[in-house]
Amino acid sequence: MTKLSAIAVALSIFISHLFRSATSQGITYTFPDCTVAPLKSNAVCDTTKDPVTRAQAIISEFTVSELISNTVNLSPGVARLGLPAYQWWSEALHGVASSPGVTFAPVGSNFSFATSFPQPILMGAAFDDELIKDVATVISTEARAFNNFGRAGIDFFTPNINPFKDPRWGRGQETPGEDPFHISQYVFNLIQGLQGGIDPKPYIKVVADCKHFAGYDLENWEGNSRMSFNAVITPQDLSEYYLPSFQSCVRDARVASVMCSYNSVNGIPSCANSYLLQSLLRDYWGFNDEGRWVTSDCDAVDNIFSTHHYTADYPHAVADALKAGTDVDCGTAYSLHLPDAFNQSLITKDDLEKALVRQYSSLVRLGYFDSPKVQPFRQLDWSDVNTPAAQALALKAAAEGIVLLKNDGTLPFKKSIKKLAFIGPWANATTQMQGNYEGIAPFLVSPMQGAINTGFSVTFAFGTSISGTDTSGFAEALAAAKAADAIVFAALDLISQLSSLGKPLVVMQFGGGQVDGTEIKNNTKVNSILWAGYPGQSGGTALGDIISGKTAPAGRLATTQYPASYINQVNMTDMNLRPSSTNPGRTYKWFTGTPVFEFGHGLHFTTFAISWQHQPSTVYQIPPGLTNQIGKSNIDLNAFETFNVVVKNTGKVASDYVALLFLSGNGGPAPLPNKQLVSYTRLQGIEAGRQSVATLQVTLGSIARADANGNLWLYPGKYELTVDTGTEVYLTHSFELEGSPTQISKFPQDSS
């Protein structure tokens, strides 16, 4: 952007707040001006009308060609009607991110960076729902500030809420973990922070987008590409594992957008799948309301014909997608082939208008047509980006999610340890700390720099490459280690040589988290292991604070760390969760092997004693009459019981504590999973010698189980609750659930 245009934008916002313009990777963002013709007399500008009515007023004036041209993510608008071009595709997974809809300014300028929080895989390990809401609130505030100066759209293709069930899926780092209940709570809070609440009035803050719907967790494995993969999933697994996070996002948090995925589900491409997009999404979860739309993943509509070969040609492919309920094509298939589909009478003008009304009523809810004088979000500017509070929150998010996997008392380092040797490619990592879908961070603190800032004297040696193929730095690494008081490293190839030096040895693990750490877990000369995921802009500071003892870790693994043999025991294309002759079972709920570190594992710098505040009942009754409420209320959200656990810090270090409540049992026609998470909470800063109470609320849905058709049932039987302290100390309670088996939901069946 030239200086002249930049000044023009600034002046227009400052003086009138009615117009803005800036270039964002090929698009000039300009908001409609309802104070001038032709929009001035159009009902789309009437703020007394509902969003759908307002959207219909403008869409009814579109020609067929104008309708078609605006069904893609890079929408040209309709100049003759005063509608500017708009890019629907912006990203903000863990901060405003580089993407087609987002443009960062040159270094040193306003909007040259945005707060970079940890990846969701690390924030999920914090098990702190309020933290997630706070992080999302900062992200949406910064997104709106970027938008106010033409540097981003107002809707963002985030979050990724596919359960992370297979360690080979590199994009698992984008998710909160493997457990469907945990992801459901995470996304429920995240969407509120992004959108400004549950169906906020009068304006939604930004539009979030829950992706990838559905059964998506494979990129390319042994010739199986996500572009053509057919995920064969039983109704039971859909209901119990693959869809709860989407139900929470859509039905409960009221997200405004959903992305259909590349893959097919049971033979039908997701973006042409009326069972997914109509029967489940719109009819079952109520996605039919104003301002809610479905976008394809980028080029997924094209793939319906080109890779899935689901239709005979492109016109039928785009027609199937549009009529199934895909409103926005992130790609070009709609603009290229909908004209032919229309001419062949495969679609109607009504079909096109339906999709455009959904899109534009969403923009109405965002205040797209309204004066900034009535919108609180249009006042946000550069001063609202990466504020001191946002920086503190990024540090808190990193510190809360880091997990202490192993410790013999070496951490935190004693005051006598002053010289550290940081060894390995991650030791001085900066941009790698962000993971993918990242933006430009205001700063990036490496693990080594974090230790220096804490007061340690640090020597760095590269040691080896991330892949471990370059061993030329071994000698330098050993020399650095010999001269240090303690060793901090993340290069497994060096472990045997470094551990033989007899010095305190701490391993920091980075990345998605599902790696085989058996060797370092069992090596008694490896004193401590910290898992740090992708900790974002302040990750090094958080790690420095932990090893020095300024911060006590309390994160819990949100994934199972499998032994390496796991990947040889099950095909990545096998979507089944339960163990069989060809499947050892997936996730902590069903895995029949022995994990290296199990889901929920996490140690502390202190010790805890836990007890029931009030002894729970030994008998509970299944409430009568629940089946009669199916279709009238969301029975799964009904309260079952609240369990209060007294947590006493019996050590000498103040620490947070994450209470995870698991359920196991034998009720129903088949055994329950090994165990399943039914509630959790994070207690903040319990001082040594003091205690706090963890309130664990359990719903009927979290103790229910899906039958073969996906219907949820409450089954009588014997059950056990378990809470742990992070060590081999458990609090348990057995109870019996009495009554008749009771159905509490009716899962839609796929009749295609």
Per-residue confidence at 11, pLDDT binned at 50, 70, 90? very low
Biggest alpha carbon–alpha carbon distance for the chain: 81
CA dihedral of residues 287, 174, 232, 579 (deg, nearest 10):
-120
Greatest mean pLDDT among 199-203, 469-473, 690-694: 690-694
540-577 confidence digits (pLDDT tens): 999 999 999 999 999 999 999 999 999 999 999 999 99
Give the list of residues 6+ apart from residue 292 with CB closer than 8 angstroms, or none: 255, 256, 257, 258, 358, 362
Examine the pLDDT at 6 and tell me if it is beyond 50: no
> Could you tell me the pLDDT band of residue 474, with boundaries at 50, 70 and 90?
confident
Q: What are the CA-CA distances from residue 302 to residues 95, 160, 217, 297, 349 (Å)?
A: 29, 22, 20, 10, 21
* pLDDT tens column, 63-110: 999 999 999 999 999 999 999 999 999 999 999 999 999 999 999 999
Provide mean pLDDT across the span 34-43: 94
In contact, 206 and 193? CB cutoff 8 Å? no
What is the mean pLDDT of the segment spanning 44-69? 97
Mean pLDDT of 409-418: 97
What pLDDT, on the 0 to 100 scale, is given for residue 466? 60
Q: What is the mean pLDDT of residues 512-532?
A: 89
Q: Is the pLDDT of residue 17 over 70?
A: no
Other residues' Cβ atoms within 10 Å of the Cβ of residue 482: 12
Q: Could you read off the pLDDT of 258-311 as tens digits, one per residue?
A: 999 999 999 999 999 999 999 999 999 999 877 899 999 999 999 999 999 999
Q: What is the pLDDT of residue 22?
A: 36
At residue 700, does pLDDT exceed 70?
yes
Please write the tens of the pLDDT for every residue from 449-464. 999 999 999 999 988 7
Better pLDDT: 222 or 474 = 222
> Residue 607 has what DSSP assignment?
-
Output b/e per residue, 680-715; b: 16+ Cβ within 10 A: bbbbeebeeeebbebebebbbbbbbbbbeebbbbbb
593 contacts 584 by C-beta, under 8 angstroms: yes
- For residues 211-219, give the mean pLDDT: 97
Tokens 């697994």 identify what position?
Answer: 237
pLDDT at 93: 98
Region of poorest pLDDT, from 14-23, 42-51, 95-104, 565-574: 14-23
| CB contact at 8 A, 594 and 256 | no
Beta strands in 249-325 (DSSP E): 257-260, 264-265, 268-269, 293-296
Helical pair 388-401 and 539-548, crossing angle rounded to 10 deg = 60
Which residue is it, tokens 């009030």? Answer: 614
DSSP state of 177: -
Does the pLDDT of residue 131 top 90, yes or no? yes
The letter for the amino acid at 635 is I
Is the pLDDT confidence value at 691 over 80?
yes
- Checking if the pLDDT of 745 tops 90, the result is yes
Q: What's the pTM? A: 0.95
DSSP code at position 651: S
Q: How far apart are CA 86 and CA 489, in angstroms?
A: 47
Instruction: Please tell me the predicted confidence (pLDDT) of residue 10.
Output: 29
pLDDT band at 515 (very low <50, low <70, confident <90, very high): confident
Bridge-based pairing state of the strands 730-738 and 717-724: antiparallel
297 given a catalytic annotation: yes
Confidence of residue 30 (pLDDT cuts 50, 70, 90): confident
Tell me phi and psi for residue 601, to 5 degrees: -70, 140
Residue of 223, 317, 224, 209 whose CA lies nearest to 263: 224
Secondary structure in 3-state letters for 187-218: HHHHHHHHHCCCCCCCCCCCECEEEEECCCCC
Q: Give the whole-number percent of the chain exceeding pLDDT 70.
A: 94
The residue type found at 184 is: S
| pLDDT exceeds 50 at position 335 | yes
Per-residue pLDDT reduced to its tens digit, 139-180: 999 999 999 999 999 999 999 999 999 999 999 999 999 999
Is residue 695's pLDDT more than 60?
Answer: yes
3-class DSSP assignment, residue 113: coil
- What is the bridge-based pairing of β-strands 639-649 and 608-612? antiparallel
Kindly tell me if the per-residue pLDDT of 14 is higher than 70.
no
389's tokens: 């509070």
Q: What average pLDDT is seen over the chain?
A: 93
Please spell the DSSP secondary structure of 411-480, one letter per residue: PSPPTT--EEEEESTTTT-SGGGG-SS----S----HHHHHHHHT-EEEEE--S-TTS---TTHHHHHHH
- Going by C-alpha positions, the residue among 573, 562, 549 that lies closest to residue 263 is 573
Query: Residue 418: which residues within 8 A CB-CB, separation 6 or more?
Result: 456, 457, 485
Kindly report which listed range (81-85, 425-429, 503-507) carries the lowest average pLDDT score: 425-429
Q: Which of 297, 329, 724, 750 is catalytic?
A: 297
First to last CA, the chain: 51
Task: Kindly state the DSSP code that residue 622 receives in the 8-state scheme.
Answer: P
Separation in Å, CA 2 to CA 5, 147, 587, 601: 5, 18, 53, 53
Burial class (CB in 10 A: 0-12, 13-18, 19+), 264: buried
